[in-house]
Chain A
């Protein structure tokens, strides 16, 4: 199976600072990656689609200037939470599509628990 790695797995930051989360596909190329957010006892909510070499596509209600996404290579997408507030505290999860046809599943990272204090 394919492996997607997220880093860090946990991060605590102060209000007003920025935090960067990395999502890497370790053994395959991913032209498209997805970022989700999950609050306790709730479903994963899609935040944005990260496309290699182009701008990310954000879901309705997600502030693109607050959640900066960069997909600079076929194996790395980053999500930067800017000017973090306590309400941004959540579990952030990325997933990746294998480039090319044939893949019928999404490969998820292990998630990043962000706590803003």
Chain B
């Protein structure tokens, strides 16, 4: 069966450092992979999408890599700030529809001043 795995342990990081999150998947051949941010009691907010033919994508302080051979995506938050504290979810499409997604359980990031 299809599976998406993210580190279940919270990532505690000092302000200014780079946070690196991992997303591994099995039994998928995704055309693209997405990353979302979720705050407590709120719906997910889209951050980045990376396609299978892209190795790396950046948006401001965020960077995503996608290795289809390893079946892995890495998500980096550089120069982290306390406001970056949240749970970060990776997601793969279940079909050709952008919105029909299977999510990982998410990794909580806590950035301390």
**Do A105 and B100 contact each other (CB < 8 Å), given the known contacts A42-B105, A110-B42?**
no
Question: In whole angstroms, how far apart are the Cα atoms of A97 and B100 in the complex?
Answer: 9
Q: Give the residues from 5 to 49 in chain B that come closer than 8 angstroms, CB to CB, to chain A.
A: 32, 34, 36, 41-46, 49
Q: With A and B bound together, what is the CA distance between A111 and B34 in angstroms? A: 20
Q: Is B64 an interface residue (CB 8 A)?
A: no
**Using a Cβ–Cβ cut-off of 8 Å, how many residues does chain A contribute to the interface with B?**
27
Binding site for A on B (CB under 8 A): 4, 32, 34, 36, 41-46, 49, 89, 94, 97-106
Closest to B42 in A: A110
> Interface on chain A toward B: helix, strand, loop, or mixed SS?
strand
Verify B97–A113 contact, CB threshold 8 A. Answer: no
For the complex, what is the distance from the CA of A46 to the CA of B94, rounded to whole Å? 10
- In the bound complex, CA of A107 to CA of B99 (Å): 8
B101 surroundings in chain A (CB, below 8 A): 34, 44, 46, 95, 106
Q: Quick check: A46 and B100 within 8 Å, CB to CB?
A: yes
Q: Could you tell me the distance in whole angstroms from the C-beta of A1 to the nearest C-beta in chain B? A: 9
Asked if A78 is at the interface (CB within 8 A of a chain B CB), the reply is no
Using a CB–CB distance below 8 Å, which chain A residues touch chain B?
4, 6, 32-34, 41-46, 49, 91, 93, 95-97, 103-111, 113
The distance from the CB of A50 to the nearest CB of chain B, in whole angstroms, is 10
How far is the CB of A59 from the nearest CB of chain B, in Å? Answer: 9
23 contacts between A and B (CB under 8 A): A32-B99, A34-B99, A34-B100, A34-B101, A41-B105, A43-B89, A43-B104, A44-B101, A44-B103, A91-B41, A95-B43, A95-B99, A97-B99, A104-B98, A105-B98, A106-B46, A106-B98, A108-B45, A110-B43, A111-B41, A111-B42, A111-B43, A113-B41
Task: Check if A97 sits within 8 Å of B98, measured CB to CB.
Answer: yes
Q: Inside 8 A of A41's CB, which chain B residues have their CB?
A: 105
A4-B43, A34-B100 known, 6 other contacts, Cβ within 8 Å: A43-B103, A43-B106, A44-B44, A91-B41, A106-B99, A108-B46
